[in-house]
Structure 1
């Protein structure tokens, strides 16, 4: 199944009706708070907030859960590293924080047209052109970041399906190695495309 989660879906929920500025500001504040505030209990609280917002935005919960499995794989690897280097509590916090951030980003993209987000960013940054900042380039960067998450999740699902088709669904190596290779290859392709358009510098 192709993962369409992360793409805008029209609706009439509270999150759909909120101005794009309020949503971006809310995402920024929550993201900073998630990173800055420590402790597994606080991290669990932020995850609960992210889940509530996803429910308010009426995300397709089944598709979202499937998509977040790929994020969960990465989050578990990061958590294991944190446990090895630091403590179990730090590992749990990292795991919950990564899932919360991913869910918040998905909720934003599902309830907000990408064009509205980019237009708002360009409008806010236009006064900074006087000091050499290119709003269009920054908007392009944000657009690529927004598209990167669902695109990466799609690659993860496709790689997992391919491993299962070969009877290797339980082998982490059969899944993770091709997944990393495909992500890196996609990044190189994107970089080459940007350079061909004179946007690589």
Structure 2
């Protein structure tokens, strides 16, 4: 399962905080990453986000377990940055990716998808006069959040199947079947929406 789309019920301070405030804080973290130009500053912000997990009573171990699926991606990013820049840039970029993933995960772990979509619908309400459909945007957000754990679940199933067959892990033999499965799932989701009259 993934951090995104996985709500953990609880009564912590972060659980009780308004969904809008948490979304604003998430945006603030993303903006803050761009304003902090030193690698150690981003690492310090990453530590702060990590310390919020025990405060939310969802368990830091849960967050760290979810990052296993990003291991190869983070390694590739770090190696690429070392080759084209230096180790400080590599640490800075890797810490930024971890920071944003963990911060977004903390929001979805402590906030229901319904609460998140309600905030988006309320914020976009005034834009109805310009042709924006807030409910459709909210639905898109809910589907996007739900799609993340689904795709990661498909990746885990594919990886387990390849290991069971004794197949080596290669980017091409892993990415192509995963893409096919993800597209098939998207097609099924689209068919379900069309069947409910949400295609117009």
TM-score, normalised to structure 2's length? 0.82
How many corresponding residue pairs? 198
Q: Cα RMSD over matched residues? A: 2.7
**How many angstroms does 1:72 deviate by?**
2.6
Q: Aligned with 2:9: secondary structure?
A: coil
**What is the aligned partner in structure 1 of residue 45 from structure 2?**
46
Gaps of 5+ in 1: none
Aligned pairs for 1:131-142 (under 5 A) are 131-142=130-141
Query: Whole-Å Cα distance in 1 between the matches of residues 154 and 34 of structure 2?
Result: 27
Compared with structure 1, are the counterparts of its residues 179 and 86 closer, same or farther at alpha carbon in structure 2 (3 Å cutoff)?
A: farther
Q: Aligned with 1:148: secondary structure?
A: helix
Deviates more, 1:118-127 or 1:133-142: 133-142
- Asked if the contact 2:2–2:148 (Cα under 8 Å) also holds between the matched residues in 1, the reply is no
Query: Whole-Å Cα distance in 2 between the matches of residues 99 and 177 of structure 1?
Result: 26
* Superposition misfits of 4+ residues, deviation over 6 angstroms: 195-198
**What is the aligned partner in structure 2 of residue 64 from structure 1?**
63
Aligned pairs for 1:32-111 (under 5 A) are 32-111=31-110
Gaps of 5+ in 2: none
**How many angstroms does 1:135 deviate by?**
1.0
Query: Whole-Å Cα distance in 2 between the matches of residues 134 and 144 of structure 1?
Result: 16
**What is the aligned partner in structure 1 of residue 19 from structure 2?**
20
Over residues 146-180 of structure 1, what are the superposed CA-to-partner deviations in whole Å (9 max), with x where a residue is unaligned? 22332233223223322322234x63445455445
- Asked if the contact 2:50–2:60 (Cα under 8 Å) also holds between the matched residues in 1, the reply is no
TM-score, normalised to structure 1's length? 0.81
